[in-house]
């Protein structure tokens, strides 16, 4: 029986996120690619009002760019071609859902700077915003939307799917832990006493918002390629 070859391009330049996705997906795909494998990829403007909308913007942009690559590019040497993009962030109840879709550039917006801000700057801004908020009102959740596109032959439209996951928790008053990235040092998941960064990758791979969204992606991809 022929084994179907699957290639997946992930629309992220964040090395931490790419490694996390690669570890969590476990689809047995033949190849994993990133925008670096397709030179000249223009970063799209993420101007949607939802995580799902921004994930679709990124996935569609990379799919469009991939089609400009040479037909002998290694990505095309597969039976099934997919593009995956995520948009994720932190929603804090006491801040009416902020930083939300602006999570990665939370501190940059205030400083009037383009692009994402360093994790430390975002964390510092969040702690300052919550300084007067009591411990019992610091509830928050991580949210992740995954857009999965199957590249189809022209002129057919690409097949699009969106999967979402979330993780409930609360924001601490100081960072802790050396694992993870983003707001992980400040976020304590429900049912735990340590931050996501202190719990480590093993626990995070089971309970994180990205893990839950990717679990749905993995199951869907496996269902597509199981004889």
Model pLDDT for residues 144-185, shown as the tens digit of each residue = 999 999 998 876 678 999 999 999 999 999 999 998 899 999
pLDDT at 109: 85
Dihedral (Cα; 107, 182, 194, 166), 10-degree rounding: 100
The 10s digit of each residue's pLDDT in 73-131 is: 999 998 889 999 999 999 999 999 999 999 999 999 877 777 889 999 999 999 999 99
* pLDDT, averaged across the chain: 90
Residue 87 appears among annotated catalytic residues: yes
- Domains annotated for the chain, with CATH where assigned, are 6-225 (3.90.950.10)
Which residue has better confidence, 69 or 222? Answer: 69
Global confidence as pTM: 0.88
Q: What is the pLDDT of residue 1?
A: 42
Cα gap 75→85, rounded to integer Å: 16
Instruction: Write phi, then psi, for 75 (nearest 5 degrees).
Output: -60, -35
- How confident is the model over 21-30, as a mean pLDDT? 68
Torsion of CA 15, 203, 181, 195, to 10 degrees: 180
Catalytic residue, chosen from 87, 184, 201, 219, is 87
What is the rounded distance in angstroms from the CA atom of residue 171 to the CA atom of residue 93? 10
């Amino acid at each position: 029986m022929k084994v179907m070859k699957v290639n997946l391009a992930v629309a992220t330049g964040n090395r931490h996120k790419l490694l996390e996705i690669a570890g969590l997906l476990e689809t047995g795909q033949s190849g994993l690619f990133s925008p670096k494998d397709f030179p000249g990829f223009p970063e799209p403007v993420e101007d949607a009002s939802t995580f799902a909308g921004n994930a679709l913007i990124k996935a569609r942009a990379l799919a469009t760019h991939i089609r400009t690559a040479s037909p002998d590019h290694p990505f095309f040497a597969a039976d099934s071609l997919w593009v995956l993009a995520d948009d994720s962030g932190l929603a804090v109840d006491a801040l009416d859902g902020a930083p939300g879709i602006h999570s990665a550039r939370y501190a940059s917006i205030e400083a009037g700077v383009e692009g994402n801000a360093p994790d430390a700057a975002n964390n510092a801004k969040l702690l300052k915003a919550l300084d007067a908020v009591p411990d019992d009102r610091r509830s928050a959740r991580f949210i992740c939307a995954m857009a999965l596109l199957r590249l189809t032959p022209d002129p057919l439209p690409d097949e699009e799917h969106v999967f979402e996951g979330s993780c409930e928790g609360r924001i601490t008053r100081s960072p802790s832990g050396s694992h993870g990235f983003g707001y992980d040092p400040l976020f304590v998941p429900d049912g735990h006493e340590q931050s996501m960064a202190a719990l480590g990758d093993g626990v995070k791979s089971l309970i994180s918002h990205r893990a839950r969204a990717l679990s749905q992606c993995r199951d869907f991809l496996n269902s597509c390629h199981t004889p």
